[in-house]
Amino acid sequence: MRYGGIRRRRLSLQQLLVISTVVTGIGLFMVTIRPLEPQIRVEFPRKFEHGVSNRSSSGSGSVGSEDPTRNEGNSGARSCATVEEMGEVLRDGFWKESLKVRKIIQNHFILNGASRVRDLPPEQFCRHGFILGKSSEAGFGNEMYKVLTGAALSIMLNRSLIIGQTRRRYPFEDYISYSNDTFTLKEVKHLWRHNGCVRKYGRHLVMRTDDFEKPAETNVLCSNWREWKQPIIWFQGTTNAVAAQFFLKNIHSEMRNAASNLFGDPEVLQSRPNVFGELMRVLISPSKGIEEAVNWVIGGKEDPDISLHMRMLMNRSVRAVQAALKCIRKALKVQHHISRPKLVLVSDTPSLIKSIMPNISEFAEVLHFDYELFKGKTSNDINERQSSEFRVKDWGPAPRWVAFVDFFLASRAKHAVISGAHRRVGTTYAQLIAALAAAQSLGDTSTSSSFEFLSSFQSNLLTDGLKNQIGWGHVWNRFAGPLSCHRQPIQCAFTPILPPAWWDGLWQSPIPRDINRLASYGIELSGFGIADTSSLQAHCRSRKKVVKTIPFPL
């Protein structure tokens, strides 16, 4: 019995050794095939300028008591960057690609603009495709991105653009005029009947919808939209610059190529084109009344040099003002040839404008639209309904049309747009001001551009780095992860004119919230922003195909 017991124990030990060997082999195999994470230590393109200080993070101009960019054992490498250092790689190059995209947009509307398409022979017209760009009248930045995303998609899919109307009114119709190169849904219905598309060719007017805000249903990553046969496509929920750029990771090369042809290489942030600015340059203009107000401020003189937009949410932060003043001086230092610049000041907080104007007036001529002084001077009636109570923080207590005067006034800046804020810098409103200004300052034969988009950050916004610049629509969100240094001083950073949608560029890293959100779209994202394309392929193969359509009675 004893001998048998010893033999059983020996057999168990042998089994344990075999199991251990197998498990070790599997583990080594998994390590071998697993994609490597990027190296954390990245060399800075230039010397780190902010010294170590023992002052607390509440101080206005220091990093905390420990330098967060230092890696022990490797004094020449750093594991994070300040906002200004991130911005250094964004300074130059966008103008060349923007001129290329400008030509693409021009050619697109020559071929797909309403003036040509409405005169096509019936058979050709009935085969033609359309994209619906439809928005409501909520926040201007988010709603304008819905129209602009539709325009970008119309280029990628070689279709004509429809601007959606509500009760026969365009979005923000009182304040914005739209290009004649676009259709209305009413006109498309009329032409569909007139050309006998159903009777002669059996082609019913059907619209396929896709909602970006529903990850389980959207086809933005898994479907080849160029093969969709429905006459109209509506891409919903596109409230910022992100949705259209999701096609850069679509599993179909045809869609990826169409997206990269328009948006450029997401790894090369400094040379990506100003897509949305170039689209606005073609598609929108101020209404007559808004334009009169803008011209009243400028007073027949030259356009302003710099625009400063301060989104303060009715807050009067001294630190935010100090950061903005630093950014103005930085912009003037680059544009050293300007003796006394003209600066447009825009804010949702009237009291801030009154308090900051004396500081700026010492070295610049300040332009600001005072709607109380302007009342009665316009030849065109502008809707003067007061802002709804829940919109006061976004638009201020002034009538809503003032925000549109401010938008078109600020977008006349020739050299720089600066974005400052009480909390989140670079909102969609500020992004679109900078994008339109950059497009308007770039001539068709330009060989370079000195235009700058700058972000001003007070130190308390950077206590945890860019971590709190949350929200997919915010221009610095893609830089908010672990590569963003904590306890930064006041910063004035060069800012991407085309807000990135992915994390492919230098110093970009996601926050956990974004990793979880990407997972709902079927993408496994590493802590440093690398998308696992093989997992996306598997996700697309396993997911249920969703097709939603709306037929239009004629």
With contact defined as beta carbons under 8 Å apart, do 304 and 344 qualify? yes
With contact defined as beta carbons under 8 Å apart, do 205 and 552 qualify? yes
Which pLDDT score, from 0 to 100, does residue 182 have? 98
Q: What is the pLDDT of residues 179-189, one digit of tens each?
A: 999 999 999 99
Q: What is the pLDDT of residues 330-348, one digit of tens each?
A: 998 877 667 789 999 999 9
Q: Does the structure show a pLDDT above 60 at 397?
A: yes
Using DSSP's 3-state secondary structure scheme, residue 151 falls into helix
List Cα–Cα distances, 242 to 90, 266, 272, 326, 477, in angstroms: 18, 12, 14, 30, 11
**CA distance linking residue 254 with residue 239, whole number of Å:** 25
Which pLDDT score, from 0 to 100, does residue 554 have? 84
Residue 349 has, within 13 A of its CA and on its CB side, a CA count of 20
Residue 342 has, within 13 A of its CA and on its CB side, a CA count of 15
Instruction: Return phi, psi of residue 528, to 5°.
Output: -110, 15
With contact defined as beta carbons under 8 Å apart, do 455 and 419 qualify? yes
| Strand 452-457 relative to strand 491-494, pairing | antiparallel
Q: Does the structure show a pLDDT above 60 at 20?
A: no
Helix axes 94-112, 275-283, angle to 10 degrees: 40
> Average pLDDT in the 158-164 region?
98
Which pLDDT score, from 0 to 100, does residue 140 have? 94
User: Which one-letter DSSP state was computed for residue 390?
Assistant: G
> Average pLDDT in the 526-548 region?
94
For the ranges 137-141, 158-162, 181-185, 261-265, the lowest mean pLDDT is seen at: 137-141
For the ranges 26-30, 324-328, 331-335, 425-429, the lowest mean pLDDT is seen at: 26-30
pLDDT over 90 for what percent of the chain? 71
List Cα–Cα distances, 549 to 70, 199, 214, 237, in angstroms: 55, 21, 16, 16
Q: Edge-to-edge strands of the sheet including 365-367?
A: 365-367, 342-347, 306-311, 416-421, 452-457, 491-494
Q: What is the pLDDT of residues 416-459, one digit of tens each?
A: 999 999 999 999 999 999 999 999 999 998 888 889 999 999 99
> Average pLDDT in the 167-172 region?
93
Work out the burial of residue 157: count CB atoms within 10 Å of its CB; fewer than 13 is exposed, 13-18 middle, 19 or more buried: buried
Which pLDDT score, from 0 to 100, does residue 35 have? 40
Q: Does the structure show a pLDDT above 60 at 33?
A: no
Q: Does the structure show a pLDDT above 80 at 75?
A: no
CA 510 to chain centre: 15
Q: What is the pLDDT of residues 453-510, one digit of tens each?
A: 999 999 999 999 999 998 898 999 999 999 999 999 999 999 999 999 999 999 999 9
Which pLDDT score, from 0 to 100, does residue 380 have? 59
Q: What ranges make up the beta strands (E) of 391-532?
A: 416-421, 452-457, 491-494, 524-525, 531-532
Query: Would you place residue 381 in the very low, low, confident or very high pLDDT band (cuts 50, 70, 90)?
Result: low
**CA distance linking residue 300 with residue 286, whole number of Å:** 17
With contact defined as beta carbons under 8 Å apart, do 158 and 93 qualify? no
**CA distance linking residue 415 with residue 35, whole number of Å:** 43
> Average pLDDT in the 368-384 region?
74
**CA distance linking residue 460 with residue 379, whole number of Å:** 46
